[in-house]
Amino acid sequence: MAPKLVFVLPVVLLGWAFQAILRPPPTKLCGSPGGPPLTSPRIKLRDGRHLAYREDGVQKDKARYKIITIHAFDSTKDIPLPVSKELVEELGIYLLAFDRAGYGESDPNPKRDVKSEALDIEELADQLELGQKFYVLGTSMGGYSVWGCLQYIPHRLAGAALVVPVINYWWPSFPAELSRQAFKKQVVPEQRTLWIAHNVPSLLYLWMTQKWLPSSAAAMHHPEIFSKHDMEVLQKMMAMPRTIENKSRQQGTYESIHRDLLVAFGRWEFDPMNITNPFPQNEGSVHIWQGYEDRLVLVELQRYISKKLPWIKYHEVREGGHMFMLLDGWTDRILKALVVGEEPSAV
């Protein structure tokens, strides 16, 4: 027995140690002892989780258009949509933003996937009594939530806009060579991160927290991921007074940004390029807005999606990067196109 114990005991201890390294720390839930404080209104979902939200624009009962906005990677509902007050009042727009699961003040969802994001949006709309139909607008990583809405709750949508929406390089409809060439254009740390998220998701936490090699360039806000236009946007934003604290990671990085990577670049239940037109009678519209110079979401893949789904209205901003909508009135143009069909004169 002794020789067996000498062999087995180190293996067991090594296994425990390896599990401890791979296992993320417990989430610091908002409102729990030692956790971040609760400062926002929240709804309680059917599964017991809470979803935090923020309302803007005109009063809900007087609104002509009700839009749910879906925030980007490493962001929250509290980062305001840069839309003009004049447009909001002129068109009668009610805006509802929320913290996606694990972000800000919303409880994490260890089972989070593209479908759960869409169902969270539907339940939020129902509990806040938005009516049978509403619009959705997702930016960057928030784009996968819009794809989820188009797949799972198309009957609830009055229209949808995807602004520089995240693309999964492993969607089956992409030609292998096109996807491979686009993937190679990402900076090397991002390539490694996305490959791990897709192929070895159990190692993502270890990869994102190790200190020997750079991990996600997006998570670290590495300058290489920003275009010239993006850098100009960032400089202008840095010159503005900073009044809003980014609380995206306050409950922990794993259930916020790490989980986002796992969902966006994992294995989906559906291929977005197989989605059917939710508005066959032109009773609504779906838009994709893409910056030509975007280094995070590549234009050639977005063009391919728009060709596979000709019912989507595709807008390409010639000098735009990943952050083009934050300045120069682009958000106003995006909202006008979504709710009243007014196309921008030049993109």
pLDDT, one tens digit per residue, over 97-139 is 999 999 999 999 999 999 999 999 999 999 999 999 999 999 9
Segment 31-58 shows an average pLDDT of 95
- Residue 10 maps to a domain: no
Count of domains forming the chain: 1
Segment 235-242 shows an average pLDDT of 69
Contact 290/139 with Cβ under 8 angstroms? no
CATH code (residue 142): 3.40.50.1820
- Residue 237 maps to a domain: yes
Highest mean pLDDT among 5-9, 59-63, 240-244: 59-63
Task: Using DSSP, state whether 92 is helix, strand or coil.
Answer: coil
Contact 171/271 with Cβ under 8 angstroms? yes
343 vs 274, residue with greater confidence: 274
Written as six digits, the tokens of 50 are 């809470």
- Residue 280 maps to a domain: yes
pLDDT at 25: 87
Contact 275/241 with Cβ under 8 angstroms? no
Give the confidence band of 215 by pLDDT, cuts at 50, 70, 90: confident
pLDDT at 23: 79
**pLDDT tens string 60-76:** 999 999 999 999 999 99
Written as six digits, the tokens of 314 are 């595709």
**pLDDT tens string 282-292:** 999 999 999 99
pLDDT at 136: 98
Question: What percent of the chain lies above the pLDDT cut of 90?
Answer: 74
- Residue 23 maps to a domain: no
| Nearest alpha carbon to residue 341 among 158, 188, 139 | 158
Give the confidence band of 232 by pLDDT, cuts at 50, 70, 90: confident
- Residue 14 maps to a domain: no
- Residue 111 maps to a domain: yes
Written as six digits, the tokens of 78 are 């509290």
Task: Residue 85: give the domain boundaries.
Answer: 42-340
Give the confidence band of 18 by pLDDT, cuts at 50, 70, 90: low
φ, ψ dihedrals at 108, nearest 5°: -70, 160
Written as six digits, the tokens of 167 are 């693309």
- Residue 204 maps to a domain: yes
**pLDDT tens string 142-174:** 999 999 999 999 999 999 999 999 999 999 999
- Residue 172 maps to a domain: yes
